[in-house]
Amino acid sequence: MSSDAATVRSERQGRVLVIRIDREAKRNAIDRVTTAGIDEALNLLDDDGELWAGVITGTASVFCAGSDLRDGTGGGTERGGEYGVIRRRRAKPLIAAVEGPAYGGGFEIALACDLVVASETARFALPESRRGVVASSGALFRAMRALPLNVAKELLITGAVLDAERGHQLGFVNRLCAPGEALATALALAEDVCLSSPVSVAASLAALATLHEDEDAAGWEAGAQAVERVKAGQDIKEGVAAFFEKRRPRWQGR
């Protein structure tokens, strides 16, 4: 079964919905059509009582490079927010199956999931500061929830890369596997989840979400203020121009 967006494909495997981002020529960057496709697939996961868990993955060489800076993401969706997933309040667990880079918004998609499976090829990074912008899809508060504070800070202000092995050691990655095995490993984990009562799973996820409600609201507000601050300066224009011109930015610090 495929969604109406050619860049996102979804298929049922028993009670698990597998959602594949498939724009490898664009490193699976999220554009408007891809946002709509992810949203459609996750709406199905939310609404279909026969589905108990979901897995979101990319292609063999890359999970997701984040937002398509040239074409734009089309904005958030009503039920899912950014990329159709970032602000979604889900009752069913979603597992990220990561092969290759998960950069920027790709990392933020993984942070929005409940569990993360990564192959040894997986790499996580938040390069926004190198482009004169900030991570605006949840990483400003979710990174420090998933990782030690100083590690999260380093990722946010240097653009450093976190490899899968260290991510596993730090507790962010639930399962570390051989290259090419992320999806199979994530499906096995999803099947393990499906051995539990879906009512119990939903109740547990709802309780955890409730515990984080105030913290999340403060995080989104702080993130919005950070976005406005960079938009008011000149460095954002230079950062985006340098990215497209494939050169080092010449920051003005204003």
Cα 95 to Cα 190: distance, rounded to the nearest angstrom: 7
List the catalytic residues: 108, 128
Strands 94-98 and 16-21: unpaired
